[in-house]
Chains A and B, each alone.
Chain A
Amino acid sequence: MSENGAKIVVIDRAGERHVLDTVEGWRVMEILRDQNTGIEGICGGSCDCATCHVVVDPAWADRLPPARDEELDKLDELPLIEPTSRLSCQIIWSDDLDGLTVTIPEAA
């Protein structure tokens, strides 16, 4: 896991808060899936299934690279999204995201 000890904070579907280790260069989806947070990532990061949908803490939303059209289109399919919804497979972890907080919404 990350040598710098950067952490991601995850609030799971049961509302429980977890502080998880990270790996520089991994997709956030992979970090969440690897640690059994309930994220499926069925399409393997192809931005195609939306099973890695997370809601980013609004305080962090502007600090992430903006979503590309492909991601916006896929999010747009979901019946329910929030203004700071993202697909976690489209966020590559870097240690300067230390403390990033995301909520896993109920599965669509």
Chain B
Amino acid sequence: MSAERSTEPKRYDVAIVGAGPTGLFAVFELGLLGLNAVLIDTLDKPGGQCAELYPEKPIYDIPSWPVITGQGLTDKLLEQIAPFKADFFLGRRVSGVTRQDDGRFVVSTDAGDLIDAGAIFIAAGAGCFTPRRPKLEGLDAFENRSVFYAVRNRGSFAGRDIVIAGGGDSALDWTLDLVSIARSVTLVHRSDRFRAAPASVSAMRALEAEGRVRFVEGDLAALHGDDGVLSRIDLKTRTGPVEVAADRLLAFYGLNIELGPIAEWGLDLADGKLIKVDTEKFETSTPGVFAIGDINHYPGKLKLILSGFHEAALASHAAFKVVRPNEKLRFQYTTSSSELQQRLNVAPIAEAAE
């Protein structure tokens, strides 16, 4: 299902930004019309908020499902769209969109992918999941040089004085991992109560007892250094300030949701964070770019998953006219159309009865 990293633009009818329930169902509605799709999501799995924020929580307002969990709904949608074989570009953030002379779009991702699409569906929910950043003066200058929110190039942490902030599994796992290559590792968390696997906490405590890891109960207070090169971190603790020599900071404060780069696409917005659409096609102020699900705004909008499904169906019909301008759209039902049943890989009902 996942697509290989590509530098040649791969051609699709529709590029869907966001693989939450609305984006997933759009694959289905497009598929019925004979259109193929690619899904791009910053998360490393499909399902959006349903999978990331509340996989175990019951949802009670999905039609015909008296109760279903966020993960259950995601799994059912994946099953439903399987016949359409959409490509998934996961763990990637859309970095740019340009329109070509022929009216088609090229979508690029931060992983270097290029996608050629006839239309774009923005189904990005509340926006993209991004690491929560600590509120520290001058943080921007240090980010991606000395301050990181994930370990991408492990080797670059070798021989470093590393401060790791946070009390969850990521903070503990990287403390245990990097201690073998770092010059020093200091774990900073505001209390001795951790949210990590108990075995990881015990292992960290053992390293602390050996003097290989330093644990400081406190919060980050200030960064010091020049030109983005970190040299020292000040910590605030109950017993007073503590200074730690450090040239790397890894901060693991979980994920936040923000609109992100979509805000800069030049689309008409409502309140600066929702995309204005019409209610016939769910098209944005840019022709060929549609917005469906929680991210859009129109009079009477209800932020419900079922609204996203409805919007996906109408946007798909509108998108057909954009990507197949010379073809006639014939509206058909899955109960009776053998063409749709073929697309769904199910035996036509009439034949099955014979």
A77–B54 contact, CB under 8 A?
no
Q: B49: which A residues are within 8 A, CB to CB?
A: 42-43
**Binary contact track B93-135/A, C-beta < 8 Å → 1, others 0:** 0000000000000000000000000000000001000001111
B: contact size bracket: 20 to 34
Nearest A residue to B251, CB-CB: A79
Segment among B151-159, B210-218, B252-260, B314-322 that sits at the interface with chain A: B252-260
Stretch in A5-13, A21-29, A46-54 touching the partner: A46-54
A46 & B53 in contact (Cβ 8 Å cutoff): yes
Q: Of residues 60 to 108 in A, which have CB atoms within 8 Å of B's CB atoms?
A: 72-73, 76-81, 106, 108
Contact (Cβ within 8 A) B54 A50? no
Contact (Cβ within 8 A) A43 B53: yes
CA distance A42 to B50 in the complex (A): 11
Q: From residue B89, how far is it (CB to closest CB) to chain A in Å?
A: 23
User: In the complex, A106→B254 CA distance in Å?
Assistant: 17
Contact of A77 among B53, B220, B254 (CB under 8 A): B254
Chain A residue numbers with a CB within 8 Å of B254 are 50, 77-78
What residue in chain B is nearest A79 (Cβ atoms)?
B134
Tell me the nearest residue of chain B to A80, going by C-beta: B135
Verify A43–B54 contact, CB threshold 8 A: yes
Q: Are B54 and A73 within 8 A (Cβ)?
A: no
In the bound complex, do residue A76 and residue B257 qualify as a contact, i.e. CB atoms below 8 Å apart? no
Q: Are A79 and B132 in contact, with the CB atoms below 8 A?
A: yes
A contacts with B, residue count (CB < 8 A): 19
Q: Which of B190, B195, B257 contacts A49 (CB 8 A)?
A: B257
Docked Cα-Cα span, A45 to B291, in Å, equals 25
Contact partners of B134 in chain A: CB under 8 A: 79-80
Q: Which residue of B lies closest to A77 (CB)?
A: B254
- Kindly state whether residue B167 has any CB partner on chain A within 8 Å: yes
Complex: A78 Cα to B53 Cα, angstroms: 15
Among candidates A42, A77, A80, A81, residue contacting B257 with C-beta atoms closer than 8 Å: A42
Chain A residues contacting B219 (CB-CB under 8 Å) are: 79-80
On whether the beta carbons of A49 and B193 are closer than 8 Å, the reply is no
B contact residues around A46 at 8 Å (CB): 53-54, 57
Chain A CB within 8 A of B72 CB: no
Residues on B with beta carbons closer than 8 Å to the beta carbon of A76: 167-168, 190-191, 193, 195
Q: How far is the CB of B270 from chain A (nearest CB, A)?
A: 13
A77 contacts B253, CB within 8 Å?
yes
Inter-subunit contact A77/B135 (CB<8 Å): no
Residues of A that sit less than 8 Å from B by CB: 40, 42-44, 46, 48-51, 72-73, 76-81, 106, 108
18 chain-A/chain-B pairs, Cβ below 8 angstroms: A40-B126, A42-B126, A43-B54, A46-B54, A46-B57, A49-B257, A51-B256, A51-B257, A73-B195, A76-B195, A77-B132, A77-B166, A78-B132, A79-B132, A79-B133, A79-B165, A79-B220, A80-B134
The 9 closest A-B pairs by CB, nearest first: A77-B254, A48-B53, A79-B134, A46-B54, A43-B53, A79-B253, A73-B195, A42-B126, A46-B57
Given contacts A78-B132, A79-B219, A79-B251, list 10 more A-B pairs with CB under 8 A.
A46-B54, A46-B57, A48-B57, A49-B257, A50-B254, A76-B167, A76-B191, A76-B193, A77-B167, A79-B220
